[in-house]
Structure 1
Amino acid sequence: MKSFPYTSAFLFFLLGCFATVSEAATFTCNATTTASCQSIINYVSTNASTYRNISSLFQVSVSSILGANNIPTATPSTTTVSAGSIVKIPVPCRCTNGIGRSDSIPIYTVQSGDGLDAIARYKFDLFVNYTEIAAANNISDPNKIDVGQKLWIPLPCSCDLVEENKVVHLAYKVASGNTVEGIAAQFGTNESTLLQLNGISDPKSLKEEQILDVPLQACKSSINETSPDHGLLLPNGTYAITAKSCVKCSCSSSSYILDCSLASTNSSCPVNKCSGNLTLGDTSGTGCNAITCAYSGYTDTSFKILTTSAPNQSSSCKSSAAWPTGPIASAWMKLVVSLHLIFISICFL
């Protein structure tokens, strides 16, 4: 193979002298129950591109990129993405020895004139630095890489619960003027959680180009653990196509309950109906008495889309469900008042 050119090596050396190396983005990942999951990279396109080219760079599907950015499914893959645009990239994540890294992808092929720092900086927006690429690929001398060489780019991610809740971990690169408080507000988390998750003791120590692990609240679902997509987690304002392209599931902050419906009317998508002859996504009843035919996964061997009847799970209905209504409520109230009077009497004895 052709050796890395000396001129490029010299330029790489000069760049290392004058440019600040981004801090290593080590995300804690101790998940034991989930071998792998999906995280998101908050990628900013350095140059004008297309969804197809970005898909090829990160080696994830165009449809998954469209879903992560809540862009209509019919959007052509050749649509232009202007320089400086934020594109959320969903990446498969795996935990190894307490650290999360993108699971075996992306694989980058070294081009003529490439250097590790340039690859990290201009191809992958510094979500990984050249020392991390070198370590992941057992490269002892970062100045010596070969044209055509295949490099695994270990992007930061995590599968861990945060405060005992399932979340989608977002890798976010700190921009000029960012504050911990502002980032927390932007992504719907709190400052203390963000500080603790990233091991930051002083919010004022935040550095530009630092990579933060930002937890995004995920929608709860009825998908059972035997389904191939049981690990599907979606944050607010995103969707995913699942069940062999038959089902579209989306997440909204209005309820944070996964909303799934048929993505295609093709007869090759066999769907179980719910009681009352409800079809996936249909609802019967109103208010807190509403029952929805919810998606609960699919079988892989003999393909079948599974459903389950789910009650209204909004927070207001859960709160009201804690207390019965009607004649039963009256009886409960009488019992509570009687116990309260007995307690007061004992206190004054």
Structure 2
Amino acid sequence: MVSLMIPSPPPLAWHRFPHRCQKRTPPASSRHYSPGNRPPPPPPRPPPLSLHTSVPQESRTAQLKLASSAWWSVEWSGMAAAAVAAAMVVVVMVSSLPGGVEAKTTIEPCTGSDSCSALLGYTLYADMKVSEVAALFGTDSAALLAANALDFGAPGAAHRILPMGLFVRVPTRCSCTDGVRKSVSVRYAARPADTLATVADGVFAGLASADQIRNANALASADPDAPLDPGQKLVVPLPCVCFNSSDNNLPAVYLSYVVQVGDTVPAIAASYETTVTDVMNVNAMGSPIAAPGDILAIPLPACTSAFPKSASDHGLIVANGTYALTAGNCVQCSCGPGNLNLYCTPASLTGSCPSMQCSNGNVLLGNVSARSTSAGCNVSSCSYGGFVNGTITTLLSTGLQSRCPGPHQFPELTEPPTTVNHDSTFLPPLSAPGPAEAGGAIPPPNSGSPSVQGGSFTLPKVSTANGPAGSVSEAPWMNKPHQILSSFILCLLLLYSQM
């Protein structure tokens, strides 16, 4: 018995940086065709008809028409059969490719026990309340809204429902664990029908892989699609970097961004007002190419603090155009838009807060007193110095400036969005999840996903349907090569059967 074996190509791999971890999926096995199921060869072409004959002109004309008809019929049959055979070979080649593309994550080696502020780029897999998103990542609802310049002081803000597909920044602490930077503060309780794959690619939108969750919880090697025990507690390691909270010697906070289908490095860089070169340098990329599922560290300009190490908010850093809450939500600090100087004022989100008045003066935290004189402008200001042992530290500074400062400009706060823009090819978002289910049920296949186009922090036209391999959201039909090839072959077979 003779068989035709088409070998599997070698697994795809990037060889560009020793600190790029990869989520590998073994290649599928090769396919074999036996003589019994091998695609039929095209029928033999008839010998060409001679046009040099002594028959009468009428017969010659009829013969020419017959010859032309026969030739085109046989030619088309041969082409159709050849196309079918070629398409079947392509199917074998596609089937033998690796089952998933290797996803790469930029990691930062570290020593010690220090940590830094970082951001996680997260795309909602369902309609979720602000409090549900915050609980999923173990953060505060007001802090989540502040990191996205959403109105955290609005009544009932924590109960606002955010639409499926919305891209948000989630604040987190990036610590040094096992010699690398990562966030290990997230705990997740498995729900019925959860698997490692759905938790990684669905619930956490590709920020973690099934293998990473398995290793973090010392689970036995098993099928990532095997159901988890309901209520099973899982540690979910999430990617983050610090890089000394600087980029090109300027203050920066780093966002972990999961590359989506259709993304390009130039588009990502432009969306976050940085350069391709900067993104490549930060992520040690040999070329400006990123695959869906890769996680890139994106530097964002930020305002830094100089609080003492004894302060619980030591190392506070705020991305440009956003806010951060500290001192038990009693103080709000903003960055920009006029400059990159941290500016803190009372938040008034809670009824009981320590005194926020500067000593030896009548100036409250964040207030500036200016008095014009013939020599210039006497300026007194009360600034925030950190939260130390339950006390809000304030610093009073006075000085003579050439001119009196104008009113401070704050980053604009917007209402939490209730909808996202949809392309005509996508279905509307799911309904809000039930209060008993954090985050609601994972959308079933073919439920559709929106095309996100939110505020300035949102990449335009990013679809969660085009997530990493194994995502619970179904990708658009045109993104499935097996379905395309199968339909193409079916059409050819039907066409060939009519010959």
Per the TM superposition, whether the score is higher than 0.5 is yes
- Determine if contact 2:306/2:315 at 8 Å carries over to the other structure: no
Distance (Å, rounded) in 2 between the aligned partners of 1:307 and 1:20: 55
Structure 2 letter corresponding to 1:160:
F
Report the secondary structure of 2:365's partner residue: coil
Distance in 1 of aligned mates of 2:212 and 2:106: 10
Q: Give the letter for the 1:298 counterpart.
A: F
CA contact (8 A) 2:212 2:237 kept: yes
Structure 2: gaps spanning 5 or more residues: 1-27, 29-96, 406-499
Cα shift at 1:66:
0.8
Which residue is 1:212 aligned to? 296
The whole-number CA distance in structure 2 between the counterparts of 1:136 and 1:94 is 15
| 1:149 paired to 2:207 | no
Is the 1:223–1:296 contact (alpha carbons within 8 Å) kept by the matching residues of 2? yes
Output aligned runs, 1:85-100, within 5 Å.
85-100=166-181
**Aligned with residue 181 of structure 1, among 255, 266, 269:** 266
Cα offset for 1:207? 1.1
Q: Secondary structure at the match of 1:292?
A: strand
CA distance 1:112–1:268, shift in 2 (3 Å): closer
How many residues end up aligned between the 2 structures?
A: 295
CA distance in 1, matches of 2:190, 2:261: 30
- 1:23 & 1:310 partners in 2: Cα distance? 53
Matched, 1:134 2:223: no
Partner deviation per Cα, 1:23-48 (whole Å, 9 max, x = no partner): 1424214375x711221111111111
What is the deviation of 1:310?
A: 7.3
> 1:324 — aligned with what?
none
Aligned to 1:117: 197
Distance change >3 Å, CA 129–CA 266, structure 1 → 2: closer
TM-score, length of structure 2 as denominator length: 0.54
Aligned to 2:453: none
Render the CA deviation track for 1:151-208: whole Å, top value 9, x for unaligned. Answer: 11101011222334442110111223322222222223332221122121111x2112
1:254 positional shift = 1.5
1:280 aligns with 2:404: no
Q: 1:288 to 1:146 in 2, by over 3 A?
A: farther
The residue type equivalent to 2:174 in the other structure is C
**Do the aligned partners of 1:44 and 1:84 also contact (CA within 8 Å) in 2?**
yes
| Aligned counterpart, 2:397 | 309
In structure 2, what is the equivalent of residue 40 of structure 1? 119
Residue 325 of structure 2 aligns to a residue whose secondary structure is strand
Distance 1:198 1:312, change over 3 A: farther
- Secondary structure of the 2:263 match is coil
Q: Distance in 1 between matches of 2:218 and 2:117?
A: 26
Counterparts in 2 of 1:96 and 1:242: CA distance versus 1, 3 Å: same
Q: Which amino acid aligns with 1:217?
A: P
Q: Which residue of 1 aligns with 2:161?
A: 80
Write out per-residue CA displacement over residues 314-345 of structure 1, whole angstroms, 9 at most, x where no aligned residue: xxx9xxxxxxxxxxxxxxxxxxxxxxxxxxxx
> Does residue 190 of structure 1 match 2:270?
no
Report the AA paired with residue 241 of structure 2: S
**CA-CA distance at 1:113 after TM superposition:** 1.6
Counterpart among 296, 300, 320 of residue 385 in structure 2: 296
One-letter amino acid matched to 1:243:
A
Residue from 186, 198, 211 that aligns with 1:106: 186
The residue matched to 2:181 in structure 1 has which SS?
strand
Q: 1-side partners of 2:400 and 2:296: how far apart?
A: 35
AA matched with 1:84: G
Is the counterpart of residue 67 in structure 1 residue 150 in structure 2? no
- Classify 1:267/1:97 alpha carbon distance in 2 versus 1 (closer, same or farther; 3 Å): closer
CA distance in 2 between partners of 1:85 and 1:260 (Å): 28
Residue 308 of structure 1 deviates from its aligned partner by 3.8
Task: Note the alpha carbon deviations across 1:64-95, whole angstroms, 9 max, x for none.
Answer: 11111111123422211111111211112112
Opposite residue 118 of structure 1, the aligned amino acid is: T
Deviation at residue 124 of structure 1 after TM alignment: 0.3
Give secondary structure in 1 for the equivalent of 2:200. helix
Letter in 1 for 2:318: L
Q: Aligned letter for 1:255?
A: N
CA drift of 1:58 comes to: 1.4
Two-structure CA RMSD over aligned residues (Å): 2.9
State the distance in 1 between where 2:130 and 2:362 align: 40
Q: Structure 1: where are the runs of 5+ without partners?
A: 1-12, 318-349
Partner of 1:271: 356
Q: Residue 321 of structure 2 is aligned with which of 237, 248, 254?
A: 237
Alignment partner of 1:163 is 2:248: yes
Question: Are the aligned partners of 1:198 and 1:213 in contact in 2 as well (CA < 8 Å)?
Answer: yes
Deviation at 1:311, TM superposition (A): 6.9
